[in-house]
Amino acid sequence: MDPIRLIVGLGNPGREYEATRHNVGFWWVDELAEEAELNFKSEAKFHGLSARGLVLGRELILLKPQTFMNLSGRSVGALAQFYKIAPAQILVVHDELDLQPGIARLKLGGSHGGHNGLKDIIAQLGGREFWRLRLGIGHPGDRAQVSDFVLGHPREAERELMLEAQHQSMQVLPSVLDGKMEAAMLKLHSRK
């Protein structure tokens, strides 16, 4: 199993999007950077904010694309190409409509499921075989409402559940970084 070298949090840049459901990937990598005492800096050649350093004893790069969600692949692709990081060494943390708030799931590959950020990353990397950490945000129940929903602010109870899922998924990070994905999935997926 390839070690993870790059963790990408997906979101939209700008203060007006900070607290929206679509930005849970940013929330996740921000918390990780804070715990690891890493600072993000703007890197124009990667169209994003990146932080490099030791996380749980492993050399990692954290990335927050600043391209807006539907062009996330431009940022991920540029950084992965520059550092020669294979798709299987990338973990993308993103919001997931098909999971309820409070649920986090880890998986390798699969379709983009209509997620524009994943769609662009697949296009730029030329394949789907990267890891995803899917953080549940729930679904509005009507496809026509999805755009407003993901760009909306979660209710306080939802936000608490989303932060709990973030915390739970952080607990399996040591296994993920050790390449013990089966163990990480078993632990994370056995929670409610």
Provide the residue type at 180 as one letter.
K
Q: Which of 22, 47, 94, 115 is catalytic?
A: 22
What tens digit of pLDDT does each residue of 125-173 get?
999 999 999 999 999 999 899 999 999 999 999 999 999 999 999 999 9
Provide the residue type at 186 as one letter.
L
What tens digit of pLDDT does each residue of 23-52 get?
999 999 999 999 999 999 999 999 999 999
Residue 83 lies in a domain: yes
Residues 6+ apart with CB under 8 A from 51: 33, 38, 39, 40, 41, 61, 62
Q: Can you give 20-82 as a three-state secondary structure string?
A: CHHHHHHHHHHHHHHHHCCCCEEEHHHCEEEEEEEECCEEEEEEEECCCHHHHHHHHHHHHHH
What is d(CA 192, CA 188) in angstroms, rounded to the nearest whole number?
Answer: 9
Q: Which of these, 169, 96, 166, 178, lies nearest to 136 by C-alpha position?
A: 96
Judged by DSSP in three states, 180 sits in coil
Is 12 annotated to bind ligand?
A: no
Residue 120 lies in a domain: yes
The pLDDT confidence band at residue 188, using thresholds 50, 70 and 90, is very high
Residue 176 lies in a domain: yes
CB atoms within 10 A of CB 157: 10
Q: Which domain holds residue 35?
A: 6-189
* pTM for the full predicted model: 0.96
Residue 3 has pLDDT above 60, yes or no: yes
SS3 percent helix, strand, coil of the chain, rounded to 5, is 45, 20, 35
Residue 1 lies in a domain: no
Residue 110 lies in a domain: yes
Residue 112 lies in a domain: yes
Residue 192 has pLDDT above 80, yes or no: no
Judged by DSSP in three states, 110 sits in coil
Residue 112 has pLDDT above 60, yes or no: yes
Token pair, residue 6, equals 């790059």
Round to the nearest angstrom and report the end-to-end CA distance of the chain: 27
Is 83 annotated to bind ligand?
A: no
Structural domain total, the chain: 1
Residue 191 has pLDDT above 80, yes or no: no
Are the C-beta atoms of 170 and 32 separated by less than 8 Å? yes
Confirm whether 94 is a catalytic residue: no
What is d(CA 96, CA 105) in angstroms, rounded to the nearest whole number?
Answer: 9
What tens digit of pLDDT does each residue of 70-80 get?
999 999 999 99
The pLDDT confidence band at residue 103, using thresholds 50, 70 and 90, is very high
Q: Which CATH number characterizes residue 49's domain? A: 3.40.50.1470
